[in-house]
Amino acid sequence: MRVRLWIRWLKLNTQTTYFHLYNIKLCITPSTTRNKMNRDLRYWKEAATVILAAGVRNNFVNTSATSTQTCRPPISVPKRERTLTHSRLETALFDYTVLMLQRSAKSSFMPNAWVFPGGTVDPSDFSSEWIQIFQPLCEPPNFKIGTVRQPPKRPPILAMDRRKLGSEIPGEVAFRICAIRETFEESGILLVKPNAPDKCLKSQEALQYDQKELAIWRPLLQKNAENFMKLCRELDCIPNIWALKEWSNWLTPTYPKGKRFDTVFFICCLQEIPFTLHDDRETIQHNWMSPLDFIEGYNSGKFYVPPPQWHELGRLCRLPYLQELQRFSQDRALDGCERWFPIRLVASDGFATLYPGDELYPEDPDYTGEREMDICSSKTLEQLRLEVTRLHRIELRDRHAIALYVNIEPPYKHVHPLTMNT
């Protein structure tokens, strides 16, 4: 009897649907595992990361092993030309660099990959004690970071009313605290402000402290995230949440199997490169390079950059001037972002990753991963691409051969990556 019931359940819950127009089979298979955790966090962990961009002086040379390119103010390139193709950008030099860290080979998630600083949220990031720490400058509900003009399409990670979970700290604040804390733990860069009511909230520079003193605090935070609140009290400072501008939201796909994260990406612009030192635990190297240098390093096989980081670096390639990037991130700071959950399209000669807006992207994707979803076709990637009118996808034929195809308008006043097909 139990066998019959199980077979009946399998028939009802295993579906095969066809996109007849494109000869595509959508394979959906129920997962065999069930997680009994709270629904909000049973499928993934919440996380935050920050894209740190820092200006470089004339003739600054990156002497690291990865790049030795001289960074000078870029030559004049008309904006309309800078936004077309990779070749248009080859003669332009960025006047800023971005920070990326190489994850340890022992990491259980993305080993050896180059990523932006960040990590998983800790309950202390939502602690009500932060209200007292921020009290001289601001208070709930929005801590003077402004109200995003996006409901009802706000990403769930940011739209969730955290008071229902017992916290007076909204997600927009807690995830900024998380990103700042993790950045300090991984790189030694402390993005804080003096705890003084007369200080301007618009300042985006990292305060300079005695590095010996900060070196004492880093392992304490790595051991217990609650020590970040103690650090702020001891140094009489507060996390500079106003310097972090909302940028994007990525949800780890359900392939391959493993850890998943719902990650908020912020961006922060600094005038100069601060003292930086990787922690030799989670991260084993760090580098400040232009976005284009990182992409070219990935394309040439020197190192691996995961798709979200590759995508965001491509976006930065449309904005080679620090002042332009800072103005752009500030102007769209309250326009919000879109949750991106990649869907895999398997073709005869490789596979593509579909993003929201693509013609083949499911209308109602299964974010949970309870059902494994692949879109499969016997056609080639090129055939599948030429049969549709709306494109928002990357095509991969191997680990370092990636091509972006997008022709839709980016939502929320954002920009698409510069098209740099390899």
Q: Does residue 129 contact residue 229 with C-beta atoms inside 8 Å?
A: yes
Q: How far is 159 from 170, CA to CA, in rounded Å?
A: 9
Give pLDDT tens digits for 226-261: 999 999 999 999 999 999 999 999 999 988 778 899
CA distance 416 to 311: 8
Inside any domain, residue 226: yes
Highest mean pLDDT among 90-99, 148-157, 201-210: 148-157
Query: What is the model's pLDDT at position 401?
Result: 80
Angstrom distances, CA of residue 419 to CA of 39, 82, 125, 150, 361: 38, 11, 37, 27, 20
pLDDT at 60: 43
With respect to residue 209, please indicate whether it lies within any of the assigned structural domains: yes
In a domain, 28, yes or no: no
Whether the per-residue pLDDT at 111 is higher than 70: the answer is yes
pLDDT at 246: 97
Residue 11, in any domain of the structure: no
Gap between the Cα atoms of 173 and 242, Å rounded: 9
Tokens at residue 205, please? 């520079």
Domain assignment present for 36: no
* Amino acid at position 192, single letter: V
Q: Name the amino acid, one letter, at 298.
A: Y
- The SS3 assignment for 313 reads helix
Q: Please report the pLDDT score of residue 110 as a whole number.
A: 84
State the burial class of residue 212 (Cβ atoms within 10 Å of its Cβ: 0-12, 13-18, 19+). exposed
pTM of the model: 0.84
Nearest partner of 53 among 273, 277, 307, judged by Cα: 273
Residue 391 maps to a domain? no
Per residue in 296-316, pLDDT (tens digit) is 999 899 999 999 999 999 999
Q: Could you say which DSSP state residue 273 is in?
A: P
Number of domains, the chain: 1
DSSP 326: H
- Angle at which helix 211-223 crosses helix 171-187, to 10 degrees, equals 120
Per DSSP, helices labelled H in 235-375 are: 291-299, 307-316, 322-331
Q: Is residue 83 part of a domain?
A: yes
CA distances in angstroms from 129 to 183, 197, 214, 290, listed in the order given = 21, 18, 22, 38
- The CATH number covering residue 118 comes to 3.90.79.10
Domain assignment present for 247: yes
User: Is there a contact between 143 and 173 (Cβ–Cβ < 8 Å)?
Assistant: yes
Rounded to whole angstroms, how far apart are CA atoms 322 and 363? 37
Percent above pLDDT 70 for the chain? 78
pLDDT tens per residue, range 27-39: 443 433 333 223 5
Q: How many angstroms separate the CA atoms of 336 and 266, rounded?
A: 11
The whole domain housing 80 covers 45-331
Both structure tokens of 398: 């191997």
Question: Could you tell me the pLDDT band of residue 14, with boundaries at 50, 70 and 90?
Answer: very low
**H-type helices in 63-108, by residue range?**
79-82, 86-89
CA distance 262 to 248: 11
Which DSSP state fits 141?
A: T
Reported as a single tens digit per residue, the pLDDT across 45-89 is 999 999 999 999 753 434 343 333 333 333 233 333 333 344 445
Half-sphere exposure of 149 (CA within 13 A, CB side): 8
